[in-house]
Amino acid sequence: MMKHISTFSGQAFLLLFLIHQTVFAAEYSDNISEEYLRSQFTFGDNEILKFSECKKKSYPTCTYVWGTDSKKDAYRVKAGLAPEGDKLQIIYAQARSAKDFQRVLATYSDAEKIDGVGLEAIWSNNRKQLSFITDMYLVVHVNINVKGEDSPKEKAISIAKDLLEKL
């Protein structure tokens, strides 16, 4: 009898985990589209959105990669990696209170305070990342890795403000 209960508990946990994954994907995956990326960044003539994925890794993470399609991309994706190219990554982490953001601040050696984004926001030029906390204590990291981007901080702020409207 006890074995059936533990098997049932394990199956119930797995079902809840899968439902959570689906809810996460549905909740965040529509926040960024190829059209939106094209409005924020310069795409070359033959460049396309090659990869768009929102899934739970260590934290819920959405990754967007664009550029010219190549044969190497299929091998990278098959190996569980994103293709090569320009990349925007958005990471979400639920905090318990606004003061939890202090732990984020402690990890930045070059934190620059940004006003007007969430309850509190900082920019790291070293990481090319904007981190902010919402009024619901959701910590969001907007990381930009785009070759030749002259103003990653301004792009990250713009994306963060757009995300805040959708969250």
Of 153 and 80, the structure prediction assigns the larger pLDDT to 153
CA-based Rg of the chain, rounded to a whole angstrom?
Answer: 18
Averaged pLDDT of the chain: 83
Domain spans in the chain, listed from the N-terminal domain onward: 2-43+53-65+86-166
pLDDT higher than 50, residue 103: yes
Query: What residue type is 71 in one-letter code?
Result: K
Considering only 34-38, 52-56, 83-87, 127-131, which range has the smallest mean pLDDT? 52-56
Q: Could you give the dihedral angle defined by the CA atoms of residues 145, 135, 19 and 11, in that order, rounded to the nearest 10 degrees?
A: 110
Q: What value does the mean pLDDT take over residues 102-114?
A: 93
The whole-number pLDDT of residue 22 equals 38
pLDDT higher than 70, residue 160: yes
Q: How confident is the model at residue 76 (pLDDT cuts 50, 70, 90)?
A: confident
Considering only 31-45, 71-85, 86-100, 146-160, which range has the smallest mean pLDDT? 71-85
